[in-house]
Structure 1
Amino acid sequence: MTPAPLALPTSAADWPAWFQERTQSELARASELVDGLRTAPPTQPVDVLRQWDRAAGHLGNAAAAGSLFGNVHPSDEVRDLADAAEQEAQRIGTAWGLDRELYDVLAAIGDSAVAHDPLAARLLAKVRDDFRRSGVDKDEATRARIAAIRERITEVDQEFSRVIRDDVRTVRVTPQQLAGMPDDWLAAHPVDDEGMVTVTTDYPDSVPVRMFTRDQDVRREVTIAFLDRGWPTTEPLLSELFALRHELATTVGYADWPSYDADVKMIGDGPAIPAFIERIVEAAEEPMRRDLAQLLERYRRDFPDATEVPSYDYNHYAELVRAERYDVDSQRVRTYFDFPKVRDGLLEVTGRLFGLRYERVDVPVWHEEVTVYEVVRDDERIGRIYLDLHPREGKYKHAAQFTLTDGVAGEQLPEGVLVCNFARGLMEHDHVVTLFHEFGHLLHHVLGGHGDWYRYAGVATEWDFVEAPSQMLEEWAWHADVLRTFATDAAGEPIPADLVAAMRAADDYGKGIYARTQMFYAAMSYWFHADRVLGEDAPDLTTRMVELQDRYAALPYLPGTHMFASFGHLGGYSSGYYTYMWSLVIAKDMFSAFDESDLFTPEVAQRYRDRVLVPGGAGDAADLVADFLGRPSSFDAYAAWLAR
């Protein structure tokens, strides 16, 4: 029997009470199951593991509700309750990991007792590793300190996210300074009583302005405002966060935080991260130089004495290069990507690809712009998805998939939420690609949510693999035959194939710059954490950022700015931002299995769905990919893509 989806409150006034009841009941059930393991554990070893897994599932329900609604709910009261619930779930999870009595119950299970059940044996190995990494073997005083560190890490991380979420900066300009902006953007930004237009640092404002406005002063002002979000408030928060992580890692026996974090990822150990960064840097060197030469050549037509292109002019002049060299006018491209048609097209494309159907349902949600769909496969509901895709005050500022519930067969339906900040009208094609990307996470969550264990549900693979399925799905947003099914202009004419070909050629421009920019971010992510081994001798964050930008990035540092202050990935991704590029290497390799002349070939799409997405975390990512490809993953497809 298919489990029923979660029923959300029917009115705004009911949300606080509903949220408290939901999270408190889940936490209570989790604690009840764990108490039972201590006092009267099941007699069968597999049942012991299953009870532990179910306890973790209920704890995860509370943590997921806290994380989601703390980032999307319009009510300050609910967001505060959500933050508190997430903290409590983290506190309980930390206490479990440091509980020797509980550990003794689980550690007593011998390998031979679960050898007949490969998934149970896999879970047992992971549970043992979890306890080791938690510090359960330390003395009482050390375990108390570990608990305090973890609790404070959660608090600081939440505060970091809150500051970024709430710090929306504005630049006021005259209408004349917005020459070059699309008509629909101008219509959505009327002149105020003082004859000025307000531009915010939210993506639907700042991205088009930096790309299209011909006024360099406006581009500079908006870029500075965007880069300085969170500054100076978040710098002491980040410094404390990095110090806490370092203390935690060294306390449980690792050299530093990156070594601790990488231990459970595909990459294996911390020092492999800068080695991987250098490999990408080397592969991207020639493409970057080629990109920069074209960019500077165009820039010198307007600034003959320039020796480099400042970051605030990059988007605008990269757009000019694409328009002039590749005949791609992004304002024309936008006319084919009206948001409602893009959303519906995404559902049609992914439904056809993976054998799914999406049925829109009218159910209570937290905001009127959220749309809800049942995901149906073979006439059976297999999940529910929520699309929260437009910006508003107090909402998460980037793009991500959040969990509402993880799925386990017969017990709980997988439900996921897409949280983005797209324009309500015409979209840049880059944002269409982002929508496909994030929807890839949602599909992974739903399709992988039908096993027998919460531990393996959905996006439960190694963290440096989770982006690969999403990055691969981006390819469908670049294919003419796919785009023509939903990308139509106001007259209903589909996007021309020659325009899509030009868009793809233009997209190849800038890959080298992009790869090097990503490695700058990855280096910040790694070295901000690795530097903690230097103690008081560690460079301050701004100094280190400037050094790393000079070393790795294609574009120069903009003096006086502090991009790291709003680099939200320093929270959830910590030292692991490299994972985006690591995953992209795998994504390009997986995509090589598809025939670009027919991206909907059922045999390949279904094999990918069933061997990579459906298992969730039930196998190591490298094994899942090899099972799909028929060979181990290779760097070759990525290198060829970068060089072309």
Structure 2
Amino acid sequence: MPNPNPLLRGDRLIAYDQVTLEHLKSAVEHALASTEEAVLEQIIERQQQLPTWDDLVLAVDQLEARLQGAVYSVMPLHTRGPDWADLVLELLGKVDSWFKQKDRSLRLYRLYQRLAESEIGRALSADKQLTMQKRLREFRLAGVLLDESARQRLGELDTTIARLQREFGDNLDRSVSDRKIHVQDQQRLRGLPARNLAELAAHAHAAGLQGWLVPCEEQPCKAVLKYAQDRLLREQVYRAFHTRGSHDDPTLDNGPLLQALAEVRQERAELLGFPDAVALSLEEKNLGSWSEVQGFLQDLQARVTPGMLGRWRTLLEQAKEQGLDQLKPWDVAYLQHSLQGRLTALDEEQVRAFFPYDKVIAALVELTRELFGIALVPVTSVQAWHPEVLTFELVEHHAIIGHLYVDGVAREGKEPGSVYTSYSFNRRVDAEGVYHGPVAMVFSDVPEGVDGAPPLLDHLALRKLFHEFGHALQHLLLRTHNHLLSDTRRLGRVGNEVCSKLFERWVWSAEFLASISADYRTGGRLPVSTLQPVLKRLQRDALGEVAMGVVLSLLDLDLHRNVKDGRALQVRVEDSYRQVFGRPLADFERPAQAFEHLVGGYDASYFSYLWSDAHAVDLFTRFEQVGLRDGATGHALREKFIAHGASRTLADSVADFLDRPLNLDAYLRWNRLEAAPE
């Protein structure tokens, strides 16, 4: 008889609309019971005489897969209310603790070691031997070989890091909530497109206010800074957004928390035998050598800075033309938009009308079929956690190989800026030979439709959705056979970002965008010739993103490599900014206090976004040569680059797909940075 609890039926596709709070409580209790030390101890005890692949490695694999599935399957339910969120967080915390304890079990480590060194282990296939070597490496990086007191200290440091990260998030959320800007005079919003006005009015209505409300969030703040003619409003919004996470009260300011985090991470790295947190991060996240990272960033910074100085001089001239006595930070986006408006007849707001959400999803479904021969078939038999969430089964050669959820549109109750991909289940074959397909969940923040229009995507929203779709397809199209090798996160930060960055390249093609465009009112398409100047303008803006990426990368590495040198956090921020932009940061700006990536797993590795982008642009050159919808090239991408998962290095997969090693020329050319620095 099937379990009445939808979360405990063992189905890959959960009937989320049937899940009650009691079901969640029962599932959490069940999952937590599975995390008890006794469950793992049973495996260890049974394997003492003769550890084997099936009864040791695959048994632990299955336990990990079950716990990972339990956590990530219920994560979307945390938006239903405080009680739901508390239970989900309880489960997440307990399971995370179990994984840490498992990785520090000396008895379990010794079993893997015995198996790897035994005649049975040496006779195993190459991928199985690689799996054990990776496991042993993860054990050592987790501190399994430390003495008891050192392991205890490591646990204390992990607890401290988790607490500081929670406090950072709480402070940031509080400051964002406190910095909402209420506008009651519509004249102050002159210049904003009707869509943005409607969105701000909806925010005000939701807060029980008349007029318009500007949340201290990226999309609405950027819209005001880009379009609003009222300079005082732009200043107010700029100051609010660029001081998020900061506070006069040190206990509510994220600056001291970041400093404390860096110091704890330094102690943790030293305890594990590394000179600093950067060295540990490079090893844990498979990021290459320090000399490679340093050389890449130094060369990129030297190429970017002249362009930033030239752009600043152009803006100074434009400011004078508009009668501004001084160029302030809140004038930059507005003046850039005004200048770009002279260069093209079509505004990005007008382009948005040609990319309704349903048509973009259909285009992604079709691109997946063309490139990989995979059908994304809509599932209507069960409902996801919200009626607007799309559910697909991946069908290849008439067989279902995995499932995909797409939660792409912002809505009330969904966290602002929810743009990420989570992996409920990894692809694996268990000890009985039963295939378990992967499941991925894509989240994005496409604005809701207003005034009767459907949700519409501007270029940034297109990039975000394609980026997350790339993450999902990388996870879903693997051909590996166990839980560990099918975990794309084990490719390291760069390897885990390359496919997502690669899929962004399609939306930089005027030809591709023209082919998927469809005016939501008429169905008409945009001509390639109309899109080209728009993309050229946006490409110019993208160089500014690269520059800011270099700033944050330098700050991240400086903080985590030189935390003992006595320099204050803000001094590091200002040094990094001046190094790249060639001018000082505004004295009130506190970008580090809102640098969420430093508490979200990208500490000492933020540069991986830039490095992965360089890989993606080079990989894309093969599609540019033969066609962006070429099935043979898509097949090669899957078989030579994606399919191997964590079973080989990123460099080997790149070389296999391109028939040569990585080359940065295409990346530098696309960013107009070909000229070598003097």
TM-score calculated relative to the size of structure 2: 0.86
Match of 2:126 in 1: 118
CA distance in 1 between counterparts of 2:359 and 2:30 reads 35
CA distance in 1 between counterparts of 2:190 and 2:12 reads 49
Match of 2:191 in 1: 180
Match of 2:501 in 1: 471
Q: Is residue 224 from structure 1 mapped to residue 239 from structure 2 by the alignment? A: yes
SS where residue 421 of structure 1 aligns? strand
Match of 1:613 in 2: 642
Q: Is residue 550 from structure 1 mapped to residue 587 from structure 2 by the alignment? A: no
Alignment of 1:162-561 (within 5 A): 162-165=170-173, 167-168=176-177, 169-173=179-183, 174-190=185-201, 196-232=211-247, 233=252, 234-270=254-290, 272-303=292-323, 305-306=325-326, 309-362=327-380, 363-389=382-408, 390-393=410-413, 395=415, 397-409=417-429, 410-425=434-449, 426-448=456-478, 451-489=481-519, 490-534=521-565, 537=566, 539-553=567-581, 556-561=584-589
Quote the offset at 1:435 in angstroms: 1.2
C-alpha change, 1:121 and 1:295, in structure 2 (3 Å) is: farther
C-alpha contact (below 8 Å) 2:375/2:396 kept by paired residues? yes
C-alpha contact (below 8 Å) 1:516/1:553 kept by paired residues? yes
Quote the offset at 1:641 in angstroms: 1.7
C-alpha contact (below 8 Å) 1:387/1:419 kept by paired residues? yes
Quote the offset at 1:180 in angstroms: 1.3
Match of 2:671 in 1: 642
SS where residue 188 of structure 1 aligns? helix
Q: Is residue 140 from structure 1 mapped to residue 148 from structure 2 by the alignment? A: yes
C-alpha contact (below 8 Å) 2:376/2:394 kept by paired residues? yes
Quote the offset at 1:304 in angstroms: 5.3
Paired letter, 2:556: S
CA distance in 2 between counterparts of 1:511 and 1:631 reads 27
Quote the offset at 1:557 in angstroms: 2.2
Alignment of 1:2-81 (within 5 A): 4-9=11-16, 10-14=18-22, 16-17=24-25, 19-21=27-29, 23-24=31-32, 26-27=34-35, 32-33=39-40, 35-41=42-48, 43=50, 45-47=52-54, 48-65=56-73, 68-69=75-76, 73-81=79-87
SS where residue 381 of structure 1 aligns? strand
SS where residue 647 of structure 2 aligns? coil
SS where residue 279 of structure 1 aligns? helix
Quote the offset at 1:220 in angstroms: 2.0
Match of 1:82 in 2: 88
Paired letter, 2:180: T
Quote the offset at 1:373 in angstroms: 2.1
C-alpha contact (below 8 Å) 2:508/2:535 kept by paired residues? yes
CA distance in 2 between counterparts of 1:608 and 1:49 reads 30
C-alpha contact (below 8 Å) 1:260/1:270 kept by paired residues? no
Match of 2:160 in 1: 152
Q: Is residue 161 from structure 1 mapped to residue 169 from structure 2 by the alignment? A: yes
C-alpha change, 1:194 and 1:593, in structure 2 (3 Å) is: closer
Percent pairwise identity: 22
C-alpha contact (below 8 Å) 1:585/1:638 kept by paired residues? yes
CA distance in 1 between counterparts of 2:623 and 2:339 reads 31
Paired letter, 2:591: M
Quote the offset at 1:352 in angstroms: 2.6
Match of 2:7 in 1: none
Q: Is residue 563 from structure 1 mapped to residue 583 from structure 2 by the alignment? A: no
Quote the offset at 1:497 in angstroms: 0.9
C-alpha contact (below 8 Å) 2:266/2:560 kept by paired residues? yes
C-alpha change, 1:34 and 1:52, in structure 2 (3 Å) is: farther
**Bigger Cα displacement from structure 2, 407-416 vs 86-95:** 407-416
CA distance in 2 between counterparts of 1:79 and 1:606 reads 41
**Bigger Cα displacement from structure 2, 268-277 vs 494-503:** 268-277
SS where residue 436 of structure 2 aligns? coil
Alignment of 1:565-604 (within 5 A): 565-571=593-599, 572-595=601-624, 598-604=627-633
SS where residue 230 of structure 1 aligns? coil
Q: Is residue 101 from structure 1 mapped to residue 107 from structure 2 by the alignment? A: yes
C-alpha contact (below 8 Å) 1:444/1:459 kept by paired residues? no
C-alpha contact (below 8 Å) 2:305/2:582 kept by paired residues? no
Quote the offset at 1:22 in angstroms: 5.8
Quote the offset at 1:518 in angstroms: 0.6
C-alpha change, 1:21 and 1:304, in structure 2 (3 Å) is: same
SS where residue 264 of structure 2 aligns? helix
Paired letter, 2:68: G
**Bigger Cα displacement from structure 2, 41-50 vs 97-106:** 41-50
Query: Aligned-pair RMSD on alpha carbons?
Result: 2.7
C-alpha change, 1:349 and 1:214, in structure 2 (3 Å) is: farther
Paired letter, 1:263: E
C-alpha contact (below 8 Å) 2:180/2:215 kept by paired residues? yes
CA distance in 1 between counterparts of 2:543 and 2:418 reads 24
Deviations 1:432-489 (A, max 9, x none): 1121111111111211275233343344312122211111111211223322343222
SS where residue 151 of structure 2 aligns? helix
**Bigger Cα displacement from structure 2, 581-590 vs 41-50:** 41-50
C-alpha change, 1:115 and 1:289, in structure 2 (3 Å) is: farther
C-alpha contact (below 8 Å) 1:291/1:510 kept by paired residues? no
SS where residue 267 of structure 1 aligns? coil
SS where residue 374 of structure 1 aligns? strand
C-alpha contact (below 8 Å) 1:172/1:198 kept by paired residues? yes
CA distance in 2 between counterparts of 1:335 and 1:62 reads 40
C-alpha contact (below 8 Å) 1:448/1:459 kept by paired residues? no
CA distance in 2 between counterparts of 1:13 and 1:52 reads 30
Quote the offset at 1:266 in angstroms: 4.3
TM-score calculated relative to the size of structure 1: 0.91
C-alpha change, 1:494 and 1:131, in structure 2 (3 Å) is: same
CA distance in 2 between counterparts of 1:435 and 1:53 reads 31
**Bigger Cα displacement from structure 2, 561-570 vs 105-114:** 105-114
SS where residue 180 of structure 1 aligns? coil
CA distance in 1 between counterparts of 2:27 and 2:189 reads 44
The count of corresponding residues between Structure 1 and Structure 2 is 634
Q: Which ranges in structure 1 are unaligned for 5 or more consecutive residues?
A: none
CA distance in 1 between counterparts of 2:549 and 2:428 reads 36
C-alpha contact (below 8 Å) 1:199/1:205 kept by paired residues? yes
CA distance in 1 between counterparts of 2:194 and 2:285 reads 47
C-alpha change, 1:42 and 1:281, in structure 2 (3 Å) is: farther
Match of 2:6 in 1: none
SS where residue 209 of structure 1 aligns? helix
CA distance in 2 between counterparts of 1:129 and 1:345 reads 41
